[in-house]
Amino acid sequence: MKMKRAVITGLGAITPLGNNVNDFWQSLINGKSGATPITRFDTTNHKTKFACEVKGFDPSAMFEKSEVRKMDLYTLYALAAADEGIKDSGLDLDACDRNKIGVILATGIGGMQTFEDEILKFGENTQQPRFSPFFITKMISNIATGQISIRYGLHGVSYSLTSACASSNNAIANALDLIRLGRANVVIAGGSEASITQACVGGFNSMKAMSTLNESPETASRPFDKSRDGFVAGEGAGILVIEELEHALKRGARIYCELAGYGAASDAYHVAATHPEGLGAVLAMEGALEDANLKPEDVNYINAHATSTPVGDISECLAIEKVFRNSLDKLHISATKSMTGHLLGAAGAIEAIACVKAVEQGVIPPTINLGELDSQINPELNLTPHKAHKKEVTVALSNTFGFGGHTSTSVFRKYN
């Protein structure tokens, strides 16, 4: 059976750098940091007092108050991004077979704020516990997917998945498989996260995983830099409308690029640390290139996972060196987490959007806050420091790696 091809026809984003794709992209290429002091809760007793929060998001512009009350913030982000993505795609849902439009939305944590609020309320009165009737349907990690399907009457495949910080990249990969096999004409895919909460910040602080550079939040996310001290929490949602090529051509859709392949693997090494030599990352990138029928020298740009953690950045660079050892001079790499922070389960989705825009616009976003390169990182790697770089991008890779050793790489190729 000949595999069908998949293309990207719509994008939607809610991010710390802007609440639509254009604002997000302009902030990226201008090197803007989204890190500011946390406003969600009192950080007095927390080691980290800043994060990359979504700013100016007003759910009342899209939802009734009664709807907002029934949904966690991660679901509201997902719905808003999906609305932009569907509108951007130009899909006329009434003219489509809704039975063949699917939704796969990923999250690393789900409705954490709802969970915290309800448990804290329960702790105040354990003798007569009272829970919101919306507690479960706000908190569970599949509900954002369900809400998108319900809102738009989409009857195709509908499920969520989680593989920590690789989650939404795996959602995109699953969507590609469905398109290739003819089981869907369109898949709304991506991820959403709203995990800037007391428990998440406190938990990551206890692991010593987060930056504590409270005196200078905007410079705290510094991938590849010698002085990096951990990741910066981010939040938001990213949506890609992934469509079967002939379906898109038949309706005259604008095509951003082709989703050409993916690779996925496991470090099988440690619950929270990447393999020192990037074993899983190598397997994911090599698998992605093989799946897309590409050679390493075909790749122009890699959006690195690069969370700004001491071990992770080094292992990813070693993996890139191994896979692209004969074409490093042709390759640009950048870490957009230096601006967005780490969106956990949604990271892969917004970084995929960055790759799609890089292919479309011929601009590679920068890595900001890179002052002094870590001595363990090869200086021959072009990490696109400080400023965006204009360059034709024919093939871009998006790397995402998660706790538990999950690794995933997606391939975006200029459509011809």
| Residues belonging to the active site | 165
Contact residues for 114 (Cβ-Cβ < 8 A; gap 6+) = 72, 135, 138, 139
Burial (CB count within 10 angstroms: exposed 0-12, middle 13-18, buried 19+), residue 60: exposed
Burial (CB count within 10 angstroms: exposed 0-12, middle 13-18, buried 19+), residue 43: middle
Alpha-carbon distance 151 to 157, whole Å? 15
Task: Count Cβ neighbours within 10 Å for each residue of 289-303 and write b for 16 or more, e otherwise.
Answer: bebbebebeebbbbb
Contact yes or no for 263/250 (Cβ under 8 A): no
Nearest to 400 by CA among 251, 263, 299: 263
Nearest to 215 by CA among 35, 338, 39, 55: 35
